[in-house]
C-alpha cells in the first residue's frame, strides 16, 4: 500500500470507531512512524509504504479504535511547542494547560533566578516548559517538580533529560504527598494543575480519559475542590513574601477557589480564561511583608 492509501484506510477505520479527529490522528501516526514532517508527508503520498511501517500503523490504528489515547500509543505529545514523553498512569498534557504556563511566563518578568514549584507535576510539562520559557529570556530558575505517584516521578525524570544539561542541574524531582517532603524550601512561584474533577463527574468523562487516564490525577473528591483546599491552606509556609501562584481550575470552580485564596489572605486574585472563553486559571499573590 502507498502512504496515501494507508492514510485513507486508517482515517476510515478511526472514523468508524467514533474517533473525532480521525484525519489529524492518522497523519500524526504516519508522521511519527516515518519521521516525515507534514509537508514531506504530502510529497511522499504516492510512495510505497515500508512493510514494517504498514504493520506498526495497523497495530496502532487497531489500538486507537478501542479509544486508548493516541498520546500513549505514540509515547509523546506536544506541549508549549516542546515534545514530552507520555506514559500510562500519568495524565496526558492538555493544550488547555498551556494557558497556565503562558500566563505565568508572561507576567512574571523578574530577571532574577526564581525558586519555582510545580505541584502535582505528572509528566513535568508545566514546570519544565516554564523553566524553558524563562531560559529563552536568559534566566535560569530552580524548579521543583512534585508528585505523589511513582509513575509521574518516572515520567518527569525522563522528561527532564530531554532538554539539555541545565535542566538536570536546575530541576529537582521530589516524590511527595503535597508539601510533606518539601520542608525547608521557599518558593517565589507555585504552579499547579491538581486533580479537580468532582468524583461523580469522573464516571461521565469521555472513554479515552475515563478508561485509560489515571483517576488519581483527575479526581478532586466530592466537589472537585479538595486539592485546592489542601494546597491553599498549606502553601503559606513554603512561599516567599510576594510569591506568585497559578492554578488551573475546572470551568465552574473560579468562585470556590477565589474564596479559598481570599480567606487564606492571598491578594491580587484574578481569573484567566482559555481560548474558548471558559474559566481556566486562577492566579494570586502572597501578601508582601511590610
Ligand atoms: N482538564 C482535565 C480533563 O478535563 C482534568 C485535569 C485535572 O483534573 N487536573 O480531563
Q: Is 78 in the pocket of ligand 1 (CB under 6 A)?
A: no
Alpha carbon distances (Å) from 110 to 71, 107, 192, 246, 269? 35, 9, 20, 16, 20
Q: Is 195 in the pocket of ligand 1 (CB under 6 A)?
A: yes
Ligand 1 test: best mutation among 97, 147, 193, most atoms within 8 Å of CB? 193
pLDDT reading at 94 higher than 90: yes
Round to whole Å and give the CA distance between 98 and 168: 22
Q: Is 187 in the pocket of ligand 1 (CB under 6 A)?
A: no
Round to whole Å and give the CA distance between 285 and 263: 13
Confidence of residue 289 (pLDDT cuts 50, 70, 90): confident
pLDDT reading at 215 higher than 90: yes
Spatial CB neighbours of 246, under 8 Å, sequence gap ≥ 6: 100, 103, 104, 189, 190, 191, 192, 281, 282, 283
**pTM of the predicted structure, to 2 decimals:** 0.96
pLDDT reading at 138 higher than 90: yes
Q: Which residue has the cell 486508548?
A: 68
Q: Is 260 in the pocket of ligand 1 (CB under 6 A)?
A: no
What tens digit of pLDDT does each residue of 151-199 get?
999 999 999 999 999 999 999 999 999 999 999 999 999 999 999 999 9
Round to whole Å and give the CA distance between 135 and 191: 17
Round to whole Å and give the CA distance between 179 and 234: 7
pLDDT of residue 281: 98
What tens digit of pLDDT does each residue of 18-29 get?
999 999 999 999
Across residues 112-125, what is the average pLDDT? 98
Is residue 171 within 8 A of residue 145, CB to CB? The reply is: yes
Q: How many CA atoms lie within 13 A of 110 on its CB side?
A: 14
Nearest CA to ligand 1 atom 7: 195
pLDDT of residue 16: 98
Nearest residue to 102 (alpha-carbon basis) of 76, 72, 82:
82
Is residue 131 within 8 A of residue 142, CB to CB? The reply is: no
Round to whole Å and give the CA distance between 94 and 289: 36
Residue 101's H or E segment, with its range, is: helix 98-107
Ligand 1 test: best mutation among 79, 86, 91, 198, most atoms within 8 Å of CB? 91
Amino acid at each position: 500500500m502507498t502512504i496515501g492509501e494507508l492514510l485513507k484506510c486508517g482515517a476510515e477505520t478511526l472514523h468508524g470507531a467514533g474517533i473525532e479527529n480521525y484525519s489529524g490522528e492518522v497523519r500524526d501516526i504516519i508522521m511519527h512512524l516515518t519521521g516525515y514532517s507534514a509537508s514531506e508527508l504530502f510529497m511522499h503520498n504516492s510512495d510505497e509504504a515500508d512493510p514494517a511501517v504498514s504493520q506498526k500503523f495497523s497495530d496502532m490504528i487497531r489500538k486507537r479504535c478501542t479509544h486508548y489515547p493516541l498520546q500513549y500509543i505514540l509515547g509523546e505529545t506536544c506541549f508549549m511547542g516542546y515534545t514530552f514523553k507520555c506514559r500510562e498512569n500519568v495524565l496526558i498534557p492538555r493544550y488547555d494547560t498551556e494557558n497556565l504556563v503562558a500566563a505565568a511566563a508572561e507576567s512574571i518578568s523578574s530577571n532574577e533566578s526564581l525558586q519555582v514549584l510545580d505541584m502535582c507535576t505528572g509528566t513535568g510539562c508545566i514546570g519544565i516548559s516554564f523553566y524553558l520559557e524563562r531560559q529563552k529570556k536568559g534566566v535560569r530558575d530552580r524548579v521543583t517538580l512534585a508528585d505523589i505517584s511513582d509513575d509521574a516521578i518516572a515520567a518527569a525524570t525522563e522528561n527532564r533529560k530531554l532538554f539539555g544539561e541545565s535542566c538536570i542541574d536546575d530541576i529537582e524531582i521530589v516524590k511527595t504527598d503535597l508539601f510533606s517532603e518539601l520542608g525547608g524550601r521557599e518558593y517565589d512561584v507555585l504552579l499547579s494543575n491538581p486533580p479537580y474533577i468532582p468524583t461523580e463527574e469522573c464516571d461521565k468523562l469521555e472513554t479515552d480519559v475515563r478508561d485509560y487516564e489515571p483517576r488519581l490525577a483527575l479526581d478532586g473528591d466530592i466537589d472537585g475542590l479538595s486539592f485546592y483546599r489542601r494546597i491553599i491552606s498549606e502553601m503559606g509556609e513554603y512561599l516567599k513574601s510576594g510569591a506568585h501562584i497559578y492554578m488551573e481550575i475546572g470551568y465552574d470552580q473560579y468562585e470556590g477557589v477565589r474564596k479559598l485564596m481570599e480567606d487564606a489572605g492571598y491578594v491580587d486574585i484574578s481569573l484567566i480564561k482559555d481560548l474558548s472563553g471558559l474559566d481556566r486559571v486562577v492566579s494570586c499573590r502572597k501578601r508582601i511583608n511590610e
